[in-house]
Amino acid sequence: MGTDEDEARTKASLQRWLNNICSNEVLMRDEEMVFFVESDFGYSPVVRKKQPATGMRRKMLKQFAPPPDDTPELLESRPIVKGFYLSSMDAQQKVDKVVKHRRCKCCADVSMMD
C-alpha cells in the first residue's frame, strides 16, 4: 500500500479508463461526463429534475391517444392493466382511510386510559 508499484498500477488503470472514455463519442459529448473529468476533487453530480406536469399540461397529454400496440396481446391487455391499476389505487385509498381511523382509535383509547 503506497508503494511505487501501487502508484504505477493506479496511474495505468486511470489512463486506461480515460482512454476508454475519450474513445467513446457519446461520452465525450455528455455534459455530465465532461464536468466530471474536468473537475478537481470537489465534483458533485449535476441533478436536473424534470418539472412535474402541471394541470394544463397533464390535461393536454391525456387528450392524446395512447400509442398503437403492434402486438395484439398488448392491445387486449391494456384495458385489463388499466382496470387493475385503478382498482389498486382505490384499494390503497381505502386502506389509508382504515389506517387513519385505527390511529385515531388508538389515540382515543390511550387518552381514555389516562
Average pLDDT over residues 79-102: 93
> What residue segments make up the domains of the chain, in order of their start?
4-38, 67-113
Phi-psi region of 12 (alpha: psi -120 to 50; beta: other; left: phi over 0): alpha
| Of residues 38, 33, 11, the one with CA closest to residue 23 | 33
The whole-number pLDDT of residue 1 equals 59
In the chain, pLDDT over 70 holds for what percent of residues? Answer: 96
The whole-number pLDDT of residue 98 equals 94
Confirm whether pTM is higher than 0.85. Answer: no
What gap in Å lies between CA 76 and CA 78, rounded to an integer? 6
pLDDT digits (tens, 9 = 90+) for 22-78: 898 888 888 888 888 888 777 777 777 677 667 777 777 778 877 777 888 888 888
Give the distance from CA 107 to its chain's centroid. 36
Instruction: Look at the block and give the residue holding cell 457519446.
Output: 26
What gap in Å lies between CA 17 and CA 33, rounded to an integer? 13
The whole-number pLDDT of residue 80 equals 92
